[in-house]
Structure 1
Amino acid sequence: MKWLALILLPLPAMAQQVQNPRPYGWWLGDELVQTIRVPGAVDPASLPRPRAVDYWLDLRDISRRDVPGGTEITLRWQNFYSALEPREQQVPPSRIRLSDGTALDLPGFRFVTSPIRPILAPSTVDQLQPDPPFHLIDPTPARLRLAAAVLALIAGALALAWHQAWFPFRRRPARPFARAARQIARLPDAQARPLLHHALDQSFGRVLIGAELDRFLTAAPHFAPLGAQLRGFFAASDAAYFGAGAQAPQDIPRLARDLAAIERGRR
């Protein structure tokens, strides 16, 4: 009786009327359509879901329709295998169930996929694109303009340094006020006053005292606009050195800067 029980067990049924894609002539990206007719009604929940079956194979779509005597199932597979040479690939089978619980295997199939272009195809010169036209540019004019600009910049910097009595021209004897203005910019009056007197002496050519200030302004009339400030400076010096009269407050650094400005504009 055991053999009778084994016979009565549900066995996988064989699919009928399988229409597989042609076994050759497929390339990367092609869609392969497989149609299978099975006897009886199919349980929809048992149908495989569209998915990536392998790294090179996708089940893109599966559909079914009732036909006389059973159900027609259409599976759409897509090939993503990038072949370097013709190669046979295997699409795996799928198991489904009929509505009565019978298991059924949808068969797989084999096909040959080929490379789109032979990898070892020889390359020839005529496959290369021609070189684009180009023109040589002479850099000499640009270099000459650059050299001229650099020379003009150097000359301008030297002229400005000479005009402002900057290094290396800061020790010119013709600019005593410019040198004195730099030295006394941050000194107190007690130290700044002798420096400015020394600059006046150098500009006058000998020691300049208050009594000879008019002669100095006559010899150097471009300093005449500062005559009042210079008289006040000498009066304050007399008061500081000899106690002659009250010493009025005075901005010695500013007077030195004004004298230096006239000196720069004059020479």
Structure 2
Amino acid sequence: MNNTKRALFLITEESFHPTYLIVDWLLASSGSPEFRGILIRGQHSEEKDRVHRSLASKTLSNEDKIQLLRGVYGRISDAEQEMIDLKGFPKPFDSFNSSIKYIGYDINALSIQSWVEQQTGYYDEITFFIFLDVIMAPWWLSNDKVSVINAHSAVLPFARGMNAIENMAYLGDSYKFQEAAGASIHYIDHNIDTGPLIQTARLNNSLSYHSIGQVKAASYFAAFDLLISHAKLMARNTHLSFVGITPNHTGPLFLQKNYTAEVESRAKKNYLKMKQEHSNKAALRQNLTIKK
């Protein structure tokens, strides 16, 4: 059996919600030589380290902990607040862990390109698993030894781009919203969220959540789970090459610059409206069943 010398890297942001991904990735990668490290887009902050350690404190209230997080991250979004409510505060991780490297804010810098090219001299195949808020330069796809797998917090191909599920709520179509609520992992290509799909997962009863923020939080966790489970699958099966399926159509593309405060506000209201309409229809069906 011809096993491939494979290296798996995670690249993600220094913002708050990916800390859940980082912690789970470190746990999943323990003892697996194929997991070669985590690259964090941003700069190391000892203050953030201190705050994350304080999250384990039993003497601080949850509100005090959230205020500390706001102090170092600037803002805790509705979805991030819901992540805390759903799973508690993320466990602290050792930012000085030898597998963690802060790489600055320019993911497409020449120094990063040189480093990637250097890694291709060591390994037969390198896969970067990413959860990022920026577009990667074409050179990331120019080496045959390198592939990039993205985690997307909506079901592709039904909703692409940034704030995809919130934008689907803004559009107000209940069927299309439920179709898109969930997560995907896919290979990246030279367009936005159009590369071959590896796996998708749809949220069950996505109109049963109490807010669009909670839907987004559940979608984040689903995306992280898909990313990590596929990385573990690749690490266990170095004799296999994994391929994706190219969608036969593409859904709407949403851009960050178009996600205004007005769009965000309307998305929240539309989600609650769709939720209520869905609840009313379910109640009506139940009444008709009882009468029969």
With the shorter chain as reference, the TM-score category is under 0.3
Superposition TM-score, scaled by structure 2 size: 0.18
Larger Rg: 1
**Which structure: greater strand fraction?**
1
TM-score, length-normalised on structure 1?
A: 0.20
